[in-house]
Chain A
Amino acid sequence: MNIIVVGLSHKTAAVEIREKVAFAPTQMEKPLQAVVALPDITEAVIVSTCNRVEIYATTRDVAGGMARIKRFLADYHNVPLELLEKHLYSYHGEDATRHVFRVASSLDSMVVGEPQILGQIKTSYGYAAEFKSSGIILNRFLHKAFSVAKRVRTETKIASSAVSVAFAAVELAKKIFGELSDKTVLLIGAGEMCELAAKHFINTGVRGVMVTNRTYERAEKLAEEFDAKPVHFEALMETLPKADIILSSTGAPHFIIHEKDMEEVLRRRKHKPMFFIDIAVPRDIDPKVNNVENCYLYTVDDLNGVVATNLEQRKVEAAKAEAIVEQEIGQFFKWLSSLEVTPTIVALRTHFDEIRKAELSKTISGWKDLPPGAEKKLDALTNAIMNKLLHQPTSVLKRIDQGNRNDLYVDALRNLFDLEVAGDSQDNMMELED
């Protein structure tokens, strides 16, 4: 049995293509059932996020299975296959496993280490489980992928640092103030980055937000959006003492906050620390403000520096994560290959034969007046019994090997008779998380 992956992602397709083949989360039953209805496809999971659309499936016929799934993707979404083909990737065997483990561990994400993808795959798997399109192999495969992702998250620092300017600003603010729940943010001017940062602060939970702008109407408009308090720009110096975190991005050609003003501002707020984030180019805040006691000034370049360092750090951590993925692939394959029929029959026979021989020698060694030739006869007898007993299950196994659902029997047999291949750690693989 083979695992195959067919799909496209932000790495191979632009959003115009990705949106064409996306699956709506509310209607997963139909496509899932359509995929498992394809000839030679036994199990299927569909992952559809804004950055990727992927189908995981099991099949006996790798090339045929991939072709059918590609055709399905095109037909289902009414996109010409010729158009789609060049964006699609397909993997099987070890490569398929590696791909899915990497995706789940957020190593294949646009922002490496971002945490959402794992949840999205879990949801996708949830649909497959609900509509019974996944079976023994994909079940275990995805649970394995989840546990790999968990290992990566706990054993590496891949997701522990801020990789956006806005998020870096929030992290820095926490290093100054600790709790932000009693802090006030002042937004000076408008601008995409500034608003994004403000949103991050609001999501983290601050006490309040104030907005000011040269044109008061714009301040009012923005204030409405953030549920904030609009403030007159002329009153900036009176407002500053009330603000702990100041985000500035005006179009002013000169500084609007000067070092000389800060002494008065700080005196009025009893020298509680202030965190200035200057996102404007040209700058709004005199860099000398950073020299004032209890004032901390960061410009957009400083924050970019923080982000760049964090990204470097993530690269180092990603290398560690890749090593974990490689290690886990080996483990998973040991289990997958154990599902093959012939080695299972051999293992089963060996297991029975070992028992037979052990019991036989126990009986013979305790038997004092054993008639000559009896030993041979006993051996033949027990052997015949064993063969008779094993004949039926063996032939059933051989017959179902021609069919598709043998893995279920094989897995059951392996478990019933404890026929584990050495090194296959079952507990580890069944580990469920969250």
Chain B
Amino acid sequence: MNALLFNSTLVIYAVATVIYLAYLVKPKQPLGRAGFWLTVAGFVVHLGFTLNRFLEAGHTPITNLHESLSFFSMATVGIFIMFERRYKASILGSFVMPLALLILAISATFSAVIPPLNPALKSKWLAIHTIMAFLGYAAFAISFGVSVMYLIQSHFLKKRRLGPMFQKLPPLDMLDDISYRCLTFGFPLLTFAIISGAIWAETAWGTYWSWDPKETWSLITWFIYAALLHGRLTTGWRGRKAAMLSIFGFVIMLFTFLGVNLLLSGLHSYK
């Protein structure tokens, strides 16, 4: 059942991604519609997978890379659906869905077997800490996709290359706005994830902060996004500069998530 739901999601996302990429090349509105509703269908199946896994495992299914990558992908798609509805910009999908698909595809390379729960994770904090962290990550992922779009569109405008793709991409201010909204949504989540993590660490390991690589890198990520938001609110960092910083922040965030788990060893290295 689990495998079936997971693989169905993977296939639906893959088809939606292909359609969205086709939409990028040939901007015909029905393609955008098809991509969107397939994505919604995929999301529903994905949600089904996550709930099913929750029931089978008996705890929040974000305990290893297979599960957390899958949840990351699902949250990204969920937030994307929200923004697509709000801004009526199908082309967002052409930039977000490939990312969501890639994340889910990486998830598929890890074992799907439900392992016995690591005793250290047996806590009510598991759900709070992980869900907030990955919702935050997902918001940053959307901000990343939108920032890439911003850089492309701004490049077209500066170089006066006003081709069909330029016509299809949303206005600069809209992209800037979406990216900013994602950050204002993702940053508090990341903050609470770090705080709840510290509290949990205190109860589980007896100390709030132990400079575990995950903690260190989370803090670095947090500082990058804090700087970005601060710059925006005070001196008005926006446009290309903000877009590039958001992309940089996302890369660091990915390292915090994947790099730390796979390359560095520490208390958070769940595989």
Name A's B-contacting residues (CB within 8 A): 172, 174-178, 267, 269-273, 290, 293-294, 296, 298, 302, 305-306, 309
- Find out whether the CB atom of B174 lies under 8 angstroms from the CB atom of A178: yes
CA distance A305 to B173 in the complex (A): 24
A186 to chain B, nearest CB (A): 18
- Find out whether the CB atom of B238 lies under 8 angstroms from the CB atom of A298: no
- Find out whether the CB atom of B240 lies under 8 angstroms from the CB atom of A175: no
- Find out whether the CB atom of A298 lies under 8 angstroms from the CB atom of B237: no
B234-270 interface with A by 8 A CB criterion? 235-241
B208-231 interface with A by 8 A CB criterion? none
Chain B residue numbers with a CB within 8 Å of A306 are 160, 162
B48 to chain A, nearest CB (A): 36
CA distance A175 to B162 in the complex (A): 10
Chain A residue numbers with a CB within 8 Å of B240 are 293-294
- Find out whether the CB atom of B238 lies under 8 angstroms from the CB atom of A177: no
In the complex with contacts A177-B171, A178-B171, A273-B172, A294-B238 CB distance below 8 A: yes
Known: A290-B158, A296-B158, A306-B162. 4 other contacts (CB 8 A): A177-B171, A178-B174, A294-B240, A296-B157
Answer yes or no: B166 CB below 8 A from chain A CBs.
yes
- Find out whether the CB atom of A176 lies under 8 angstroms from the CB atom of B236: no
Q: List 30 A-B contacts (CB under 8 A).
A: A172-B162, A174-B171, A175-B153, A175-B157, A176-B157, A176-B171, A176-B173, A177-B172, A177-B173, A178-B171, A178-B172, A178-B173, A178-B174, A267-B235, A269-B236, A270-B236, A271-B241, A272-B236, A272-B238, A273-B172, A273-B173, A273-B239, A293-B239, A293-B240, A296-B157, A296-B158, A298-B160, A302-B160, A305-B160, A306-B160
CA distance A202 to B17 in the complex (A): 41
Chain A residue numbers with a CB within 8 Å of B35 are none
A311 to chain B, nearest CB (A): 14
Which single residue of chain A is at the shortest CB-CB distance from B171?
A178
Contact with A along B170-213 (1 / 0, CB 8 A): 11111000000000000000000000000000000000000000
A158 to chain B, nearest CB (A): 15
- Find out whether the CB atom of A271 lies under 8 angstroms from the CB atom of B157: no
B237 to chain A, nearest CB (A): 7
Chain A residue numbers with a CB within 8 Å of B157 are 172, 175-176, 296
CA distance A309 to B163 in the complex (A): 9
Chain A residue numbers with a CB within 8 Å of B158 are 290, 296
Name B's A-contacting residues (CB within 8 A): 153, 157-158, 160, 162, 166, 170-174, 235-241
CA distance A293 to B171 in the complex (A): 16
In the complex with contacts A302-B160, A305-B160, A271-B174 CB distance below 8 A: no
- Find out whether the CB atom of B239 lies under 8 angstroms from the CB atom of A294: yes
The number of A-B residue pairs with CB atoms under 8 Å apart is: 52
Chain A residue numbers with a CB within 8 Å of B236 are 267, 269-272
B41 to chain A, nearest CB (A): 28
A317 to chain B, nearest CB (A): 13
Chain B residue numbers with a CB within 8 Å of A177 are 171-173
Which single residue of chain B is at the shortest CB-CB distance from A161?
B167
Max chain B C-beta neighbours (<10 A), residue from A271, A302, A305: A271
Chain B residue numbers with a CB within 8 Å of A178 are 170-174
Chain A residue numbers with a CB within 8 Å of B170 are 178
Chain A residue numbers with a CB within 8 Å of B166 are 175
Max chain A C-beta neighbours (<10 A), residue from B236, B240, B241: B236
Chain B residue numbers with a CB within 8 Å of A272 are 236, 238
- Find out whether the CB atom of B172 lies under 8 angstroms from the CB atom of A176: yes
Which single residue of chain A is at the shortest CB-CB distance from B172?
A176
Chain A residue numbers with a CB within 8 Å of B241 are 271, 293
CA distance A178 to B170 in the complex (A): 8
Chain B residue numbers with a CB within 8 Å of A305 are 160
Chain A residue numbers with a CB within 8 Å of B153 are 175
CA distance A178 to B88 in the complex (A): 13
Which single residue of chain B is at the shortest CB-CB distance from A270?
B236
CA distance A306 to B241 in the complex (A): 27
Chain B residue numbers with a CB within 8 Å of A270 are 235-236, 238
- Find out whether the CB atom of A271 lies under 8 angstroms from the CB atom of B171: no
A5 to chain B, nearest CB (A): 36
- Find out whether the CB atom of A271 lies under 8 angstroms from the CB atom of B235: yes
Which single residue of chain A is at the shortest CB-CB distance from B160?
A302
CA distance A208 to B153 in the complex (A): 27
Max chain A C-beta neighbours (<10 A), residue from B162, B170, B237: B162
A373 to chain B, nearest CB (A): 69
Chain B residue numbers with a CB within 8 Å of A298 are 160
A113 to chain B, nearest CB (A): 16
Residue of B160, B172, B239 near A271 (CB, 8 A) is: B239
Which single residue of chain B is at the shortest CB-CB distance from A176?
B172
Chain B residue numbers with a CB within 8 Å of A175 are 153, 157, 166, 171-172
Q: Which 3 A-B pairs have the closest CB atoms?
A: A270-B236, A178-B171, A271-B236
Chain A residue numbers with a CB within 8 Å of B239 are 271, 273, 293-294
Chain B residue numbers with a CB within 8 Å of A174 are 171
In the complex with contacts A175-B171, A178-B173, A271-B238 CB distance below 8 A: yes
CA distance A298 to B161 in the complex (A): 12
